[in-house]
Structure formats: C-alpha cells, structure tokens
Amino acid sequence: MPRLDLELDDDDAGVLRGALLAARATELAELHRRGFRHSYGKASDSARESMSAEVEHHRRRIELLDRLIEALQKAT
C-alpha cells in the first residue's frame, strides 16, 4: 500500500488545505451535476450506465480528498 509522507511548514499546510477543499468543492459540484442529469434525463440504458460510473468516480475522489483533508488536519 502506498504511503504519502510530506513535510510542510505552517503556511504550506494552510495553502494545501485550501487547495484540497477547493478540489473537493469542484468534485462535489460535478457529482451533483452528473447525479441530477442521471436522475432527470431520459437517456438510454448505456448512457445511464456511463453516468452511474461517472457519479461513482466523483464519489470516490471526494472520499479520497476527505481522507487527505482529515490527515492534514490531524498532522497540524
């Protein structure tokens, strides 16, 4: 299992936290947009499958960003 070890000063930690929160907000917005399109649209079965996969992809990215944000918070 890969491990991430990164030395940061206090300023860098704040900048990184802001970047991670911005990335999370972007992913969340995209998740909501894709989820809305999935639930509202009259797409074909294959298009709905593709949209479901995209929604799951964004959920996974949000989970990973949450873990990074939590690890950064515990470290500082």
pTM: 0.79
Interval 21-44: pLDDT, tens? 999 999 999 988 877 766 666 566
- The crossing angle, in degrees rounded to 10, of helices 45-75 and 10-40 is 160
Number of H helices and E strands in the chain, helices first, is 2, 0
pLDDT greater at residue 41 or residue 9: 9
What span, in angstroms and rounded, lies between the C-alpha atoms of 13 and 18? 9
Interval 45-66: pLDDT, tens? 676 677 778 888 999 999 999 9
Predicted pLDDT at 53: 84
